[in-house]
Structures are given as C-alpha cells and as structure tokens.
C-alpha cells in the first residue's frame, strides 16, 4: 500500500483513570536463557535456542564503533563495515550477501557509536555456511585499493541520502557537534566528506589488524540449532583465527562535566524552526540511567507524555516534539526536540521545553506516571524480544555494552524498583542549567507565516 | 537497556510484505550453493590481496545440515454473528496480544475534492470516542503500557493495538469505541487539521516525499490512486465535520472490516471478547467505488527543481496490474529481477558496478484496482542523467532479453528459501492471512507458495515482460537542483521535459503548476 503519514516524526496521546490496573502485577516476559562460550583466542560466543521456526540468526559484534576513530578519520568505522563485504580468501567480493540470499537468507550490517554488527538470518540448515563465511572475513579479508576507492563513493552517496538531502537530516549531527567538546560522540557515525576523502588504504589495514580480531568479537547464535553442533562449528572455524598482535586499544578521550550553559543559533534550509534542549547523561547501565529512562517515558512516550501534551496537544506550539536519550556505552546526552509550528514563537517553545525539565526537578513525577512509565517499559521490553534477531540484539547488548550478562534479564527488576525519589534525584543531578545545550535552528531566509 | 520504541504499527506497510510459502529446501538449492562457490573459487587468481593473519586455508564451503520441514503455522478464520471476518493466531512465546482491524476503504475512497478525508478521519478516530475524550483514550492505553494506532492507506484504513496479555478486555473496549463511536469533536478536528497542514508543509520540502507523490500522480493521472492521500492545503481546509461523520458512517461497518487477534490468547477467549464488544455492531450497505480506468502508460518527464539539493531523487515507472491478476506471480518475479530482494539488477549496476548510489530498487505496487511498477534511486546531482539512463536501460533489457535460467533460479531460490523467515513471529503470520483475505485471494494458496513460485519459467517471464514492460512509455520524475543536471538530459535521450519549481508544484493541476 502507499504509505501515508500525517506526522513527520511519529508521536503518539493524554489523563484520567478509567480502568484500574493492579500495580505490581506487571506481566513478566519469560527469561532469556543462554550459554556463553569463550574460545582460547578470546572470542565470546552466546547461544540461545529457539526452535519455534527452523531458522537461525547469527550476529557478530565487533566492539569498535565511531568512538574508536582517530582524529581526522570520522566515518571510518562505518566505511570499514562496507569493506567487509569486499571478499576474503574463500569468498569473492560482493558474494557474501548473494550467497546468503541464494539460500533465502538475509544479511546486512550496521555501525553505531560503540559497535559494528554483522548479521544474517538463514534457514537453520545453513548455519555451517554462515560461520564459515564470517570466520573467513575475520581472518582473511581482501584489502584492495580499487575496491576501497570505489566503495568510498557509495558511502558518500549514503551520507548525501541520509544526512544532507532530507529536511532535518543534519539535526542529530548538529546536536552532537555542539553537545560534546572532546568525546568522539561529537562526530556523526557516517563521518564527514573531508574525512572520508582523507582515509587511506593503510588506515584500512591498520583498523582491520587492530579491531577485527577474535578478542574484540562476540557472536550471538539464536534460533533452531543443536548445541553440540554449534560448539563444534565454532571451534572448527573461529578456533583457528589467531589472537591480535597487540591488545585492543580502549583509550577514548572523556568529556568533562560542563560548567556553563551553551547557546547556539543556526540557520538551515528547513521548512520549520527546530528547538533543541539537551543535557549530559550517564552511560547505559549506570545506576542513574534507570530512573533517567523511566523519566524519559514520562517526558516523551505516548500522547500522555508531558512534552507531547504541552507542546503539541494543548498549545499547538509544535508540529512534533519528542525526547530521545542516547544511553550509550559512555556518557552521552538526553535531548528534546520540537519543530515549531507556523505562526508560533520559537521563544515560547524553548521556554516550554525547559519548563518541562525544570518541573521534573521540583516536582518529580506522580505515582501514576511512574506506574505508567513502568508499564510502557515492560511493553518495550517484551516487544524487543519477539524475533530471534531481537533476542540476539539483547544478548549482544548485555555482553558487549553492559559487560554483564546478568543484566539481560536482571534489568527488568532494576527498572521495576525505580522510585519517584530516584527520578527526582536524577533530574536534579543531570538537568542543570550549566550542563545544558540550547539550540535554535531557524529556516534559512526567514520563517514563512 | 536496549529497547526499541514501539511505533504505530502501520498495517498498510506490512501488508505488502513478501508472502511466501514452501515445505523444505530441495537438494537442488543445496547443490547450487556449492556450485556457485566452487565456480567463484576457480575464477579467482592468486595474489588476491587477502590479508590473512595466519596461513588461512583455501577451503570449500561446508555442506548444509539436514533440513527440518517447514509448514505454514496454524491459524483460524472465523466469523462473528454479524458477519465480521476474524483471523486468529495463537502463540504464547511472549505475553503480548495484538489486535488489528482493517476497514476496506482508504484514500482511494476520498470523494472528489475531499482529498485527505480518509486519512484525517482515521487520525481522528482515537481523538475522542464513545464516552471517552482524546485524553481519556490516551491515558487508558498509555497507562496499561499499550499502543493504539490508527491510519489510512490507499485502499484501507486501520486500527491497531498491542497490549500485554492481561489487558485484552481494555484493548477491545477501546477499539470498539474508536471503530464504532468516534466523536469527531470540533476542537479535535481543528487540532488535527492544523497538524496535518503543518505536516504537508514539511513534506512539500522533502525530496523523497515529493518524488513519491509526483510519480503516483504521473502514472495514475486523476484516477483515485494518483491523488494525494494526505490531501492538499485547499482540500484539508475545506473538510467539515459532516464529511468525517459521513465517511465513517459509510465505510466503518462490520461487513466492510477484517479483524485479527494475535498472540498469547486462546481462540475461545479471543472470540468471546470479540463477540461481546463487536457482536452488536450493525452491518450496513457499503457504497461501491465508482472508479475510472487508470490511464494508459505515456512517456512524460517531470523535473522538480529544488535548489541546493546535493542529490537527485529519481523515480521511473508505469502502470501495471492490480493484485488479483492471473499474471501476478510472473510479473512479480520479473520485477524482482529488475530490482527486488534476492536479485536486483538495478542495485548491481548502479551501486556495485558504478557506485552511483547507495541503493536502487524496483517495486511492483499492486492495489485492489490497479498497480504500478516503480524503480527508485538517488544519486549526487552531476550523475543524474547517467543514473536515469541506467534505470531506463534496465527496463529495456528486461523487456527485450530473455532472463537467464540461472538468474531466475537465483531469484526463486531466495523467495522459496526465505519463506520460514516470513512466518517467524505471529503478527507476520496474521499479515499473510489478512493479505489473502483483503485481496480476495484463496488462503489455501499460502502453504502452496513454493509450487506457485517455481511454476514461473524464463519463457513465462519473457511472455509477461513483452506486454507489460513498456520502456518507451515510462513516466520519469527527477527531484533535485535542476540547473546542475538538465543540460545533460538530452544526451541520454530525455531532452523533452517539464520543469517545475518545487515551490510551484501543484498535484491537482494537469501541468503540475500552481496558478
């Protein structure tokens, strides 16, 4: 069907109790059982069986992302991800995806700030093929200057398509650029054109040797398989990949706590003004990150959320208003964004956004809001583990980002224990004016009324 | 925590998902993988630049394990006492239930001059219904950690909800109000109208969205499928409360609806709830849609000029077939070879060989009454003409040259092998069943997908491609910085074009120009 959407950015709806729902009878998801293997070369393998459909999902996480890039090489981690499809000793360039497709499977990869993930979902009987191919490119990638230069053009088109051409495409990039000074989260994962052009084939070799090594890799195998068979395959194909020559570097410049509010005014060729209010927040898994997450539900999940109600529903100040938290491996930001409706004042929008943060500090959230946030959290939690791909993603997150597999199931209770006081305390600690970024991005050439 | 946010479940999006079915992978497929890899290896020359960290062996790919049979999972189709059709898929892996309602009326049913009516009606459904205000509805669904979404596509409107298993009653209570008794309160109409107008403004500056709307209008002309489903500033402004009330009254009746209950609930419990909340909903006479034939394919090139674009959005296509058509299977596979998953000549040439784009594809969009084949890609401005030429050449090649046996087998292997991936989660199973019911196709075909698919031969593809692909009558839309590419269009055979400044684009005007 042709897709029609009335809101550019999906925002959902508002406040009277109709039904009584028993408070702590939250529906619990089943436990995600897993087995964890560590190979002598340091590679970690997480197994979770799910025999409901004869398919299997294999996901290989390399613990390297945009934050590991050298200065002047933004975008390199993602660029390198593309190069992993350019063939290895036993697999021809571009064949990885087509071989997977020829058995009905799907394969792709993504890069974010912290990780690079290669995944494939396949009919279960092709598990050996996938493991063989993943090991092949971990151990014997072809590095070819011609392919490297050609693929750079594809990545540049990707940047143009995702970031430079659509209205508001640059928004995230502008926010992080001004929210960070020294931490590499400052830079977009896709990188800048200048840095992409500056990358060399030596950078490729160096990056491969440094980060694409077994001790930096975690593989999730989720779906219909036999444990003994998988164990044998893992040993056979990945067991023979040697360790790296040197330890994987982990020295990332850390962002200091900001001491002065920053205000930035910009212009972009966008149809409506955008107002951004952002604060520094702790890393994912930090004890404060749980109340912060609960609070983010109250602020911006659903049509009852405070930001939606105030800015969109009640006042019509904004076409769309939402909050998003980048709870990453290292401390990041929480930002609220509003697109100012024609005829409305950007000043009013900015004041309204900041007022919502301030209200959390002075009044916290109500008991009912807390319960609602927890119910919304439970739902997200449950619908985030429906498919084998979802499950692999949860397991990878526990191992690589949280570095604590117990968190995969344990976090459910951690969330349910969050109290109103926890939320208020976290708001007071993080939503401080001196840690705040206020950005106003006006349409170039003025606002059309 | 790593949690994906629940967004409105756009049923119109998932309904077009690939529907595939087959029992088990054959030996043919298995051996083909082996053969393909062997062939690849023998072609390879030594000194290939592999950066082995160790003396990495030259290796044959491993053989597959024994395959388990794949069968279409159980589902039930039932009827309520008032005739409403119900699809049930019971599965208790996660303690969640989704309820999905489809109404067989969408933007195509917008009366003349009232474009945007179906969509805005759908948007207003949950903004007050029964005894509940918009705020009551939002509070109810949010508090239980549920999601409620409403919307409209071309041929359908929908209401979806996801709730935890202990909240089924609440979900039904809400949906029955929203579907049967929407309030259409004047203040909510004004609020949503203002939002829709504002969203139109944003969409008007978005090259991707503009390209999509212009190609539909070019291909379908003034047929309802060519009209802007999100409306125009004029049409949205003119809509009255009576329009919403009428649209709802005419189309939202149980004999015009399909309902699915999916997830952690038994069939008996599911049906008991539905009977209680929807059993008394009275059937009504559904007006039949008087639709003119979609126009014949005609060559026409529209350049939408958007200054400072770094890329050009390219759309190329023409009219095709409705979903229910005897040649659907063969045409679908022909289009997959052109630009679909598991094959995709466009991607091979435009991305892999020429690095002109990040992505290229072609889709067969088939609706109830008509359909279109549309290829799409984007490329940096100076490469516009070259990329356009490549896309058009691939239409020509598909029409003139017989598809190679191996290429078709590759595409079919993908579709056949892919089937178990499409029945993994219960919502996906329900989608396939709903799809068959909606397009009035036999549900018995679901488990027979493999046979239907493999029946298509290269000769069949050639037969359909000859009559259906019309390279000389393609509609073309280019949205980008016109000054920087129009001069090169003549060199690739497209010197004849109409140029429209994006600010002056009017979809309702025959020449696309605002007066």
**Token pair listed for B365:** 């969009």
Structure confidence at residue B51 (pLDDT): 64
Q: Is residue B405 part of a domain?
A: yes
Q: How far is CA B292 from the centre of its chain?
A: 23
Mean pLDDT of chain A: 91
Where residue A12 falls among pLDDT bands split at 50, 70, 90?
very low
Pick the closest to residue A426 from A434, A418, A417 (CA basis).
A418
pLDDT tens per residue, range B16-25: 222 222 222 2
Q: Read off the pLDDT of residues B154-191 as tens digits, 9 standing for 90 and up.
A: 999 999 999 999 999 999 999 999 999 999 999 999 99
The three-state secondary structure class of A309 is helix
Does one domain contain both B307 and B271? no
Query: CB-based contact (8 Å) between B495 and chain A?
Result: no
Domain shared by B482 and B401, yes or no = yes
Residue B454 contacts A where some CB pair is shorter than 8 Å: no
pLDDT at B419 over 50: yes
Whether B147 has its CB under 8 Å from any CB of chain A: the answer is: yes
Q: What is the mean pLDDT of residues B473-483?
A: 98
pLDDT tens digits, one per residue of A314-343: 999 999 998 888 789 999 999 999 999 999
CA-based nearest distance B80→chain A, Å: 26
* Integer Cα distance of B419 and B430 in angstroms: 14
Look over chain B and give the mean of its residue pLDDT values, rounded to a whole number. 90
Co-location of B207 and B307 in the same domain: no
pLDDT digits over A208-220, tens only? Answer: 999 999 999 999 9
Which alpha helices (H) appear in B182-296, and where do they start and end?
Answer: 186-204, 207-220, 233-238, 241-251, 267-278
**Considering only CA atoms, which of A405, A411, A400 is closest in space to residue A378?**
A411
Q: Look up residue A267 and give its two tokens.
A: 């212009």
Q: A152 and A192 in contact (C-beta within 8 Å)?
A: no
Reduced to 3 states (helix: H, G, I; strand: E, B; else coil), residue A185 is: helix
Distance CA A111, CA B91 (A): 33
Q: Is B468 part of the contact surface with chain A (CB cutoff 8 Å)? A: no
Equal fold, A35-237 vs A262-443: yes
Residue B173, token pair as written in the block: 């209570």
Mean pLDDT of A268-279: 95
Rounded Cα distance between A40 and A20, Å, is 55
Q: Are residues B347 and B399 in the same domain?
A: yes
B439 in the same domain as B377: yes
Residue B6 lies in a domain: no
Topology of domain A262-443, CATH: Cytochrome Bc1 Complex; Chain A, domain 1 (3.30.830)
Per-residue tokens: A266 = 């910009």
CATH ID of A35-237, from 1.10.3720.10, 3.90.950.10, 3.90.25.10, 3.30.830.10 = 3.30.830.10
Q: Please identify which residue in the block is written with the tokens 């409306």.
A: B231
Contacts of B46 (CB under 8 A, 6+ apart): none
Residue of B nearest to A89 (CA): B50
State whether A379 and B96 contact (CB < 8 Å): yes
Chain B residues within 8 A of A102 when measuring between CB atoms: 29, 32-33, 36, 342, 410, 413-414, 417
Residues 6+ apart with CB under 8 A from B395: B316, B338, B375, B469, B471, B474
Residue with tokens 């190679």: B404
Q: How many whole angstroms separate alpha carbon A106 and alpha carbon A97?
A: 7
For residues A430 and A89, what is the distance between their CA atoms, to the nearest angstrom?
A: 51
pLDDT grade for B481, boundaries at 50, 70 and 90: very high
Is B66 near chain A, with CB under 8 Å?
Answer: yes
B314 and B179 belong to one structural domain: no
Per the structure block, which two tokens stand in for B400?
């003139």
Res A437: pLDDT: 98
Q: Cβ–Cβ of A129/B61 closer than 8 Å?
A: yes
Compute the average pLDDT of residues B269-297. 91
> B24 vs chain A: nearest CA distance in angstroms?
10
Kindly state the average pLDDT of the residues A135-156: 96
- Could you list the residue range(s) of the whole structural domain that residue B188 is in? 76-278
Out of B94, B144, B421, the one facing A375 most closely (by C-beta) is B144
Q: How confident is the model at residue B342 (pLDDT cuts 50, 70, 90)?
A: confident
The domain spans of chain A are 35-237, 262-443
pLDDT (tens digit per residue) in A180-200 = 999 999 999 999 999 999 999
- Read off the CATH number of the domain in which B266 is found: 3.30.830.10
Secondary structure class of B271 (helix, strand, coil): helix
User: Is the pLDDT reported for residue A17 higher than 70?
Assistant: no
Quick one: B203 and B321 in the same domain?
no
pLDDT score recorded for residue B17: 25
Q: DSSP 3-state assignment of B436? A: helix
Q: Where are the alpha helices (DSSP H) in A238-316?
A: 289-300, 306-307
pLDDT tier at A27, thresholds 50, 70, 90 = confident
What's the number of domains chain B is made of?
Answer: 2
């Amino acid at each position: 069907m042709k897709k029609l959407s009335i809101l550019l950015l999906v925002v959902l709806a508002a406040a009277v109790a109709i039904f009584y729902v028993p408070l702590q009878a939250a529906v619990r998801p089943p436990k995600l059982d897993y087995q964890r293997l560590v190979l002598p070369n340091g590679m970690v393998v997480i197994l979770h069986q799910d025999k409901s459909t004869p398919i299997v999902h294999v996901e290989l996480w390399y613990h390297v992302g945009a934050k590991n890039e050298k200065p002047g090489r933004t975008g390199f981690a993602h660029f390198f991800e593309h190069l992993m499809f350019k063939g290895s000793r036993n697999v021809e360039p571009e064949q990885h995806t087509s071989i997977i497709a020829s058995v009905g499977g799907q394969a792709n990869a993504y890069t974010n700030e912290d990780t690079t993930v290669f995944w494939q979902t396949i009919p279960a009987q092709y598990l050996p093929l996938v493991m063989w191919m993943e090991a092949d490119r971990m151990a014997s990638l072809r590095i070819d200057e011609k392919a490297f230069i050609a693929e750079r053009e594809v990545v540049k088109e990707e940047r143009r398509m995702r970031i430079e051409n659509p209205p508001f495409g640059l928004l995230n990039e502008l926010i992080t650029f001004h929210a960070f000074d020294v931490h590499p989260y400052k830079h977009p994962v896709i990188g800048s054109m200048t840095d992409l052009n500056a990358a060399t084939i030596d950078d490729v070799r160096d990056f491969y040797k440094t980060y694409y090594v077994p001790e930096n890799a975690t593989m999730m195998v989720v779906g219909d398989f036999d444990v003994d068979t998988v164990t044998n395959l893992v040993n056979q194909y990945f067991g023979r990949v040697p360790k790296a020559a040197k330890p994987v570097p982990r020295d990332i410049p850390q962002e200091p706590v900001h001491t002065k509010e920053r205000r930035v005014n910009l212009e972009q060729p966008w149809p409506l003004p955008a107002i951004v209010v952002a604060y520094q927040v702790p890393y994912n898994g930090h004890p404060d990150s749980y109340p912060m997450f609960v609070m983010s539900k109250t602020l911006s999940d659903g049509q009852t959320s405070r930001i939606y109600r105030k800015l969109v529903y009640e006042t019509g100040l904004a076409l769309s208003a939402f909050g998003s938290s980048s709870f990453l491996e290292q401390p990041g930001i929480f930002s609220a964004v509003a697109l100012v409706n024609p005829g409305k004042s950007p000043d009013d929008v900015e004041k309204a956004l900041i007022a919502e943060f301030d209200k959390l500090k002075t009044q916290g959230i109500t008991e009912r809001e807390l319960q609602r946030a927890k119910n919304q959290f439970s739902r997200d939690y449950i619908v985030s583990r429906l498919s084998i791909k979802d499950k692999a993603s949860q397991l990878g997150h526990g191992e690589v980002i949280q570095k604590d597999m117990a968190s995969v199931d344990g976090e459910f209770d951690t969330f349910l224990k969050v109290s109103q006081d926890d939320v208020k305390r976290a708001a007071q600690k993080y939503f401080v004016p001196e840690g705040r970024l206020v950005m106003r991005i006006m349409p170039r050439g003025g606002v059309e009324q | 925590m790593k949690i994906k946010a629940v967004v409105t479940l756009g049923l119109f999006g998932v309904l077009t998902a690939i529907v595939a079915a087959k029992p088990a992978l054959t030996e043919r497929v298995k051996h083909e993988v082996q053969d393909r890899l062997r062939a690849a290896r023998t072609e390879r020359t030594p000194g290939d630049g592999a950066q082995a960290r160790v003396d990495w062996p030259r290796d044959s790919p491993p053989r597959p394990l024994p395959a388990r049979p794949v069968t279409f999972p159980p589902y039930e189709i039932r009827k309520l006492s008032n005739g409403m059709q119900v699809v049930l898929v019971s599965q208790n892996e996660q303690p969640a239930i989704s309820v999905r309602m489809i109404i067989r009326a969408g933007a195509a049913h917008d009366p003349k001059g009232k474009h945007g009516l179906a969509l805005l009606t759908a948007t207003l459904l949950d903004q007050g219904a029964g005894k509940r205000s918009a705020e009551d509805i939002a509070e109810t669904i949010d508090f239980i950690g549920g999601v409620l979404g409403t919307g409209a596509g071309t041929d359908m409107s929908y209401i979806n909800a996801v709730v935890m298993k202990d909240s089924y009653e609440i979900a039904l209570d809400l949906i029955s109000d929203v579907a049967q008794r929407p309030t259409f309160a004047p203040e909510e109409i004004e609020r949503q109208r203002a939002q829709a107008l504002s969203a139109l403004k944003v969409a008007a500056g978005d090259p991707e969205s503009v390209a999509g709307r212009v190609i539909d209008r070019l291909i379908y002309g003034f047929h309802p499928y060519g009209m802007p489903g999100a409306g125009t500033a004029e049409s949205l402004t003119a809509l009255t409360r009576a329009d919403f009330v009428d649209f709802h009254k005419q189309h939202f009746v149980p004999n015009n609806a399909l309902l699915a209950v999916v997830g952690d609930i038994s069939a008996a419990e599911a049906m008991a709830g539905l009977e209680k909340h929807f059993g008394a909903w009275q059937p009504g006479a559904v007006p039949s849609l008087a639709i003119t034939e979609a126009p014949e394919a005609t060559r026409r090139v529209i350049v939408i000029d958007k200054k400072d674009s770094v890329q050009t959005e390219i759309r190329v296509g023409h009219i095709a077939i409705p979903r229910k058509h005897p040649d659907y299977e063969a045409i679908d596979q022909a289009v997959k070879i052109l630009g679909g998953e598991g094959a995709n000549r466009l991607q091979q040439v435009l991305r892999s060989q020429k690095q002109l784009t990040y992505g290229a594809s072609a889709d067969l969009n088939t609706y109830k009454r008509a359909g279109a084949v549309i290829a799409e890609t984007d490329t940096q401005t100076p490469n516009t003409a070259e990329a356009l030429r490549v896309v058009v050449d691939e239409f020509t090649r598909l029409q003139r040259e017989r598809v190679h046996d191996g290429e078709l087998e590759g595409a079919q292997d993908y579709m056949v092998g892919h089937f178990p991936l499409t029945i993994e989660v219960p919502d996906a199973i329900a989608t396939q069943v709903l799809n068959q019911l909606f397009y009035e196709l036999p549900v018995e075909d679901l488990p027979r997908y493999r046979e239907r698919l493999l029946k298509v031969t290269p000769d069949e593809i050639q037969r359909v491609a000859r009559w259906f692909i019309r390279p000389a009558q393609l509609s073309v839309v280019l949205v980008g910085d016109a000054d920087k590419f129009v001069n090169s269009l003549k060199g690739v055979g497209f010197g004849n074009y109409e140029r429209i400044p994006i600010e002056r684009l009017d979809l309702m005007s025959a020449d696309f120009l605002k007066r």
